Structure 1
Amino acid sequence: MGNCLSAPNESRQPYNDDQQASDEDVALGKNRRLSTSPPQWSPEERMTREEVESKRAEFWETSPAFEGRKEIWEALKAACDAFGNKEFELAQTIVSSAGISLPRGTLADVYDELGNRYRIPNYCLVFPPDSPGRGTSEPSGAPQSTDDSGSKPKPSAEAASAPDSPQGDKITLRIRLSSLKDVKISVRRTDTIATVKQKLGQMEGFDGSKVRIFLTGKILPDSAVISAIKIPKGFLLQAHVPASPS
C-alpha cells in the first residue's frame, strides 16, 4: 500500500490521539463523513496569512512529485480550498466524487481507491489563530462556476456548429445530488454542462446555474461538451447543490 508521507512534522500528526481512528478502522477501509470541525494548530513562529498562503502554494506545487496519483492530489487541493472557505458540503462532494476515503473524518489523512495514503498539513486547511495580515482569506484555486457572476455561459464552437447527426443523439446521465438522491437525465451528446445543469434544475426545482458538477473529483466547466468529456457508460457524476437560503 502506497504511503504519501511528505509534509512537515505538523502534518504527520495533525490531530490528538483521541481523534485518530484505529489501525483496524483503516485496514477495514472504513469511511467517515468529513467533519466540519477545523483542526487546531499553531506554528512555532508567528506567521502572516501571506506566509501561510505561500507555504500552501509550495506544498501543492510539489505534492504531485510525492507518491500517489496526480488527479487525487488535485481533488484534495480543491477539497481543502472548499473546506477553508467553509463550503463543507462541496468539500465532501469533491472527495466522494474522486473516490477518496476519510477513515478519520478529516482531509489531513486520507486514502484513494488503490490504497495510497495522502497526508495534508494543517496549514493547508486553516489559518493559525490570530495570524496577522489581510482581514479575509480567499483560498487560491478554489473551483468556481463560470456562471456565478450571472453571465450566461457560452457554448463551445463544437456545440454551436454540431449538426443534428448521430453524434447529437440523446444519452442518459446518472447524477448523484449532494442530498444523496440519484437522478437520471436525458441529454444530447452535443449539449454542454451548462445545459445539463439547467435541465437538472428544472427537473428538481432549484437554480441549476448554481450547481457544480464533478467527474472523479474535478469540476466540469459550463462550456464542456458531453461528447468531449467522454464519460464512461453508466458512470455516476456528482452534483453539488447549494442549500437554499432560509
Structure 2
Amino acid sequence: MGCVGSTPAKGDGNVKMIRKPKPWKHPQPITKSEFVQMREEFWDTAPHYGGKKEIWDALRAAAEADLTLAQAIVDSAGVIVQSADLTVCYDERGAKYELPKYVLSEPTNLIQESRE
C-alpha cells in the first residue's frame, strides 16, 4: 500500500513535455543556406558556452528530431527542461543551456535561393 505522499506531484519541475516552438521571423529575410550556416555555427561553438559536450550533443539531437524522439532524448540524457520549447534547459549539475529559436525551427520569412 502506498501513502498519499507517494504519488508523483503535478508540479514536479523535472518532467516537462516538449512542444514545438512558436513561429518566429528572422530580422531580415534569409535564404536556406544562410540559415543552415547560422545553425552550424551555433552547434560548432555551443560547447564553448559552458556545460558538458554530451548534453550539447543530446540537445542538438533533440532539436533535430520529432517531438516524441526529442522527449526520449532529453529524458535519457537527464536534461531538465525549463522552457517546453527547449530554449532553456539545465543538466543534472545545474549548468544552464540556452538554445536560440533558429536551432529549433525555421523562420517564417525563409526565402528561395536565387539561381544565377
Pairwise same-fold verdict (TM > 0.5): yes
Distance in 2, matches of 1:110 and 1:79, equals: 12
Matches within 5 A, 1:6-155: 30-31=13-14, 32-35=16-19, 37-82=20-65, 87-133=66-112
Deviation at 1:106, TM superposition (A): 2.1
In the other structure, the counterpart of 2:6 is none
Q: How far has the Cα of 1:38 moved from its partner?
A: 2.4
- Gap regions ≥5 residues in structure 1: 1-27, 135-246
Alpha-carbon deviations, 1:176-216, whole Å to 9, x = none?
xxxxxxxxxxxxxxxxxxxxxxxxxxxxxxxxxxxxxxxxx
* Stretches of 4+ aligned residues off by more than 4 angstroms: none
Q: Which is bigger in relative contact order (C-alpha 8 A, separation at least 6)?
A: 2
Q: Please, which runs of 5 or more residues in structure 2 have no aligned partner?
A: 1-10
Secondary structure of the 1:118 match is strand
Q: Map 1:120-199; keep pairs closer than 5 Å.
A: 120-133=99-112
Structure with the bigger percentage of helix: 2
**Structure of greater Rg:** 1
Taking structure 2 as the reference length, the TM-score comes to 0.81
Aligned residue for 2:64, secondary structure, equals: helix
1:172 aligned residue: none
The alpha carbon displacement at 1:29 in A equals: 7.2
TM-score, with normalisation over the residues of structure 1? 0.39
Do the aligned partners of 1:48 and 1:132 also contact (CA within 8 Å) in 2? yes
Question: Helix, strand or coil for the counterpart of 2:26?
Answer: coil
Query: Closer, same or farther in 2 for the Cα pair 1:41/1:129, shift >3 Å?
Result: same
Percent of paired sites with the same residue:
38
Q: What's the secondary structure of 1:51's corresponding residue? A: helix
